[in-house]
Structure 1
């Protein structure tokens, strides 16, 4: 009981933390797009009002990770409730609710693993890109390449921005973006752990 309860509590807690980080990224992007609009970039040869978002921004990995976090949060809550109902069931067939949690946790393991693969592939494919002075134009979304939010704003930080306030807010947002990406890994490990514990509990009840 306690192993199942505590592991799922940790899964819910970590998932809601990641959900908050991803939501903060979405809020930041919308704020930059609707309120800030452009960053002033002081290149040696010219000054450009760079639009805060590129023409090609890849967001599917964020949506998928958001789904993983939401799924993990609610699954953890459900599994904690089911764990409380599993006391004194040794020797009885596994309850239908435990079997349901077993199936949902198996799906969660596969879902989170696919999200990790997708997120890291997309991020690695775009991480060596830079914003070029020869391509950037004032008040026009940067047209070259596809970008993830993380790699776009990392590239923006490489530029001679006129506003230190913008630089500071972007740097903080990038930290959150990097954090939610890496938190997917401990979420996956907790998915595996909770799945194994549920499997052991099902075997225990059959004895």
Structure 2
């Protein structure tokens, strides 16, 4: 039963991680596309029309790199966990599995890594949340110089502007949803990290107890 729990939890970890990796990659692709192929958004304020650069001067992207690392680590760790679970099913003898010990260590690191990423990502997001793009500061063909932003909080503010192109607004809205989803996906990834670590640790403890247990002897 232990190997099955290890298998299922690591399969789920891989699935969640590769999904989040795809979402983050989609965001990165969107940022590059907007910068290289769109360049500016036309904003029709009542008294002024500005061609706003698609990205601000101070864009914080470290949280994306960190989350990308969590997703990549989780995906390959989950695959390794599937291999370990398969080895446990075919395991013979009482000696504790070295691959299971390695998995426990790697999962413990994953728990710490993901928890650190969650704290960092949410702290940065909420520090930059609620900011607005000021018409008095925005200038045509100039990267918006005020404040620091994450991609999510920047494009949320862009959606509050009177954009001239409805298609651009729709596209930005879809990508903002994407950014919110990958941020929230860190939470179930962390939960599965903890579960996979717990299942693996319990199985390793059972194996070590089995090794210490003396063989049963019949009394004369």
TM-score band (shorter)? over 0.9
Aligned to 1:101: 103
Query: Counterpart of 1:127?
Result: 129
Contact map agreement 1:119 1:181 (CA 8 A) in 2: yes
Report the aligned-residue RMSD.
1.0
Unaligned runs of 5+ in 2: 211-220
* 1:192 maps to which of 186, 191, 194: 194
The residue number in structure 1 matching 2:204 is 202
Give the Cα–Cα distance (whole angstroms) in 2 for the partners of residues 131 and 10 of structure 1.
40
Report the alpha carbon displacement of residue 93 of structure 1 after superposing the two structures with TM: 2.6
53, 57, 66: which one aligns with 1:51 = 53
Correspondences of 1:42-121 after superposition (within 5 Å):
42-87=44-89, 89=91, 92-121=94-123
Query: How far does the alpha carbon of each residue in 1:147-206 deviate from its partner, in whole angstroms, 9 at most, with x for none?
Result: 000000000000000000100000000000000000000000000000000001101212
TM-score by length of 1: 0.98
- Structure 1 runs of 4+ with >2 Å offset: 87-91
Whose radius of gyration is greater, 1 or 2? 2
| 3-state SS of 1:49 partner | strand
Corresponding residue number in structure 1 for 2:217: none
**Aligned position for 1:177:** 179
Q: Structure 2: how far apart are the matches of 1:93 and 1:166?
A: 61
Question: How many residues of Structure 1 are paired with residues of Structure 2 in the alignment?
Answer: 207
Q: Give 3-state SS (helix, strand or coil) of 1:85's partner.
A: helix
Unaligned runs of 5+ residues in structure 1 are none
